[in-house]
Structure 1
């Protein structure tokens, strides 16, 4: 194999001219485009990182909001439970008070009616007693005046003791 030195020199000069032309007209633009592409990729990666961080923060905020909403719902349910329990207790207490009041009124009404009945019976008994006494007195007056005085005194003593 023969190596031709002239071909090697011509190839090197051609390569040097080609390199110089490429560096003057193509490499600058090519490197600028590659740099822009690298910046674009870096910016997109940065934006993706920020978006991921924002999404993480948003998810955490949503978790916290959901936790707070559950807590609020639990508190509302608990307040409702306590309120209904208190209302039921108040209603029962009111019913007991009303029952006691009605019972006391009924007892008082019964006592008033009993007293009226006793008074009515006393009046009737008194009338009958007077009637019987007057009949007895008539018989006794006709038969024994001393016995009559004894009966009147006895009756007056009994009536005086009851009053």
Structure 2
């Protein structure tokens, strides 16, 4: 089966194998290795791009969180300012209403005083004219008590009708 080794064949086969390896290296292994290297570089670029995008996304997310926090703070300030303004407005309205009520009260008191004085003046005029009337009637007649009472009642009725 196996015979003696022939070294010429071995060298010939070894030389063929080396030539085959060189041909494969130049035409097969080289392009395959280049393709594998390009693929490796492409994957590394994608990984680095993905990492960069992730970092940018995290940065953007943090910026958005800060913006939301600032917006909430600003909204609270706006609400607080509006509440304070409403309180000031309410106090102003109440103060104005109190001033107006006080003014109207003073006007009403002044009107009441004026009407009181007019009524007193009118009453004085009526009393004086009634006194004159009673005196003139008393002078006209000298009356006894019954007639004097009757005369006073008639005069009071006349004055009451005039009022």
- Structure 2 equivalent of residue 77 of structure 1: 79
* Residue 97 of structure 1 pairs with residue 104 of structure 2: no
Runs of 5+ consecutive residues of structure 2 not aligned to the other structure: 142-163
Task: Return the offset for 1:11.
Answer: 5.5
Residues 5-54 of structure 1: CA deviation (Å, up to 9, x unaligned): 74764554343222211122112211210121111011101211110111
Deviation at 1:62, TM superposition (A): 0.9
**Could you say what secondary structure the match of 1:87 adopts?**
helix
- TM-score after normalising by structure 1: 0.71
1:107 — aligned with what? Answer: 109
Q: 2:23 aligns with which of 21, 24, 27?
A: 21
Paired residues in the alignment total: 139
Shift of 1:137: 7.6
Tell me by how many angstroms 1:111 deviates: 0.3
The more displaced of 96-105 and 67-76 is 67-76
Name 1:151's counterpart in structure 2: none
Q: Point out the more displaced range, 2-11 or 80-89.
A: 2-11
Determine the structure 2 residue equivalent to 1:120.
Answer: 122
The equivalent of 2:37 in structure 1 is: 35
1:29/1:131 Cα in 2 relative to 1: closer, same or farther (>3 Å)?
Answer: same
| Structure 2 counterpart of 1:65 | 67
Higher relative CO (Cα under 8 Å, sequence separation at least 6) belongs to 2
